[in-house]
Amino acid sequence: MAVVIEQISKRFGELCVVDRASLDVADGELVVLLGSSGSGKSTILRMIAGLTVPDEGRILLNGRDITRLPPQQRGMGFVFQNYSIFPHMTVAENIEFGLKIRNVPVSQRLARREYLLGLVDLHGMGPRYSSQLSGGQQQRVALARSLAYEPPVLLLDEPFGAIDAKTRIQLRQSLKKIVKEIGVTTMMVTHDQEEAFELADRVAIVNKGRIEQYGFPNDVYYSPSTQFTADFVGDINFFEGSVLNSSGECCEIELFEGIPVYRRGRYPFQQGQRVLYGVRPEQIRVSLLEPENYENGINGTIEKSMFLGDITRYSIRLADSHLLDVQVLNYLFIDGMVMPYELNEKVWLIWSQGSGIILADGAHPAFVSNI
């Protein structure tokens, strides 16, 4: 493992900002820390960089304990949200800065600079100053500068946070290409789920200073281990229920008014145990008639409809006044018409027994194996 964080904690006064966080990052891996503002992401990154010293725990770089090593001896590349290039230096001087202070010979320095300018798509921009660059270009310079001296690890703290949405998407695609091309181990912080999922090999969900879940984006999305994670990545409808039967290869849960739902898989529940059952809006299909065959089905009345361009979101009133959110893709029929469901229309909602999430009440991991 390139980076291992073992149970690190950080307090500021009374406030525990990072609480026994552990992570491991493989060589060349791109790990994203995803969490809302104030959850402790930057503090974790700063401890890895050596800018903040943890109160407890250890940080290892390629097996070596660096917990108390000053930042300059770690030599990690760092890119911050706010354009952090030196305004009194040209692009070329910014990129060469780290090489100069390390006394890299001139010919090597220039070659490296030209390579990096090409890598971040800024060929010919060497003589410019930051005032002559867009925000996106400045962050490209910051990236090139942080990579100049071939750091063992690249750390990025919301690097695209201050940049408009379209440019941000281009930048993150470039970032992914660049870090994979040079194979640098990378850790990035963001509060943007789409950004995290697009970039991450593995994603760590940070909540109140704890690593709530760490895994592949796909697993975090489909098998969240807590209610927080399920809610934080995407949308989900949660209902309370009790277990009717979980002795076999499928778990049967009774929701409100005795409505049963089924989830394939082996679960360690007792009969009668209280659980949370969740299903994501895009996993549900809407039908005007009761389908002949379905694995999970429930009926309701369209209460709200929100057209969002590519999709329409419906809120559907179920029995016992529960609401279910459903998301429908607005594909066009042959005559070019989108067929929306009308308000107050009665509909059937169906979904597979392979979708859905069950969490033990108290939201501890409940999932044992999928089938």
Write out the residues near ligand ADP by the rule CB under 6 A: 12, 17, 35, 37-43
Three-state SS at 213: strand
- What whole-number distance in Å separates Cα of residue 282 and Cα of residue 308? 14
17 or 324, CB closer to ligand ADP?
17
153 or 279, CB closer to Mg ion?
153
92 or 163, CB closer to Mg ion?
163
Phi, psi of 322 (to 5 degrees): -75, 150
Q: Which of 131, 71, 67 is nearest to 98 (CA)?
A: 71
Q: Is 42 a residue that touches Mg ion (CB under 5 A)?
A: yes
Structure tokens at 287: 């039908």
Range in contact with Mg ion (rule: CB under 5 A) among 28-36, 41-49, 247-255, 291-299: 41-49
Q: Which of 149, 171, 214, 158 is nearest to 46 (CA)?
A: 158
In whole angstroms, the minimum distance from the beta carbon of 234 to Mg ion comes to 22
Range in contact with Mg ion (rule: CB under 5 A) among 37-45, 217-225, 251-259, 268-276: 37-45
200 binds, among Mg ion, ligand ADP, none (CB under 5 to 8 A by kind): none
43 binds, among ligand ADP, Mg ion, none (CB under 5 to 8 A by kind): ligand ADP
Count of other CB atoms within 10 angstroms of residue 253:
25
Three-state SS at 31: strand
Q: Is 283 a residue that touches Mg ion (CB under 5 A)?
A: no
59 or 188, CB closer to Mg ion?
188
Burial 287-322 (b: 16+ CB within 10 A, else e): eeeeeeebbbbbebebeebeeeeeebbbebebeeeb
Q: Is 296 a residue that touches Mg ion (CB under 5 A)?
A: no
In whole angstroms, the minimum distance from the beta carbon of 182 to Mg ion comes to 25
98 or 209, CB closer to ligand ADP?
209
Amino acid present at 114: E
- What whole-number distance in Å separates Cα of residue 66 and Cα of residue 69? 5
In whole angstroms, the minimum distance from the beta carbon of 40 to ligand ADP comes to 4
Count of other CB atoms within 10 angstroms of residue 206:
26
Range in contact with Mg ion (rule: CB under 5 A) among 36-44, 50-58, 205-213, 342-350: 36-44
Range in contact with Mg ion (rule: CB under 5 A) among 42-50, 127-135, 198-206, 227-235: 42-50
CB 197 within 8 A of CB 217: yes
- What whole-number distance in Å separates Cα of residue 136 and Cα of residue 291? 51
Q: Is 225 a residue that touches Mg ion (CB under 5 A)?
A: no
76 or 358, CB closer to Mg ion?
76
Q: Which helix (H) or strand (E) holds 175?
A: helix 165-182
Q: Give the pairing of strands 237-245 and 250-254.
A: antiparallel
Q: Is 190 a residue that touches Mg ion (CB under 5 A)?
A: no
Range in contact with Mg ion (rule: CB under 5 A) among 34-42, 140-148, 193-201, 259-267: 34-42
Chain residues in the site for Mg ion (CB under 5 A): 42
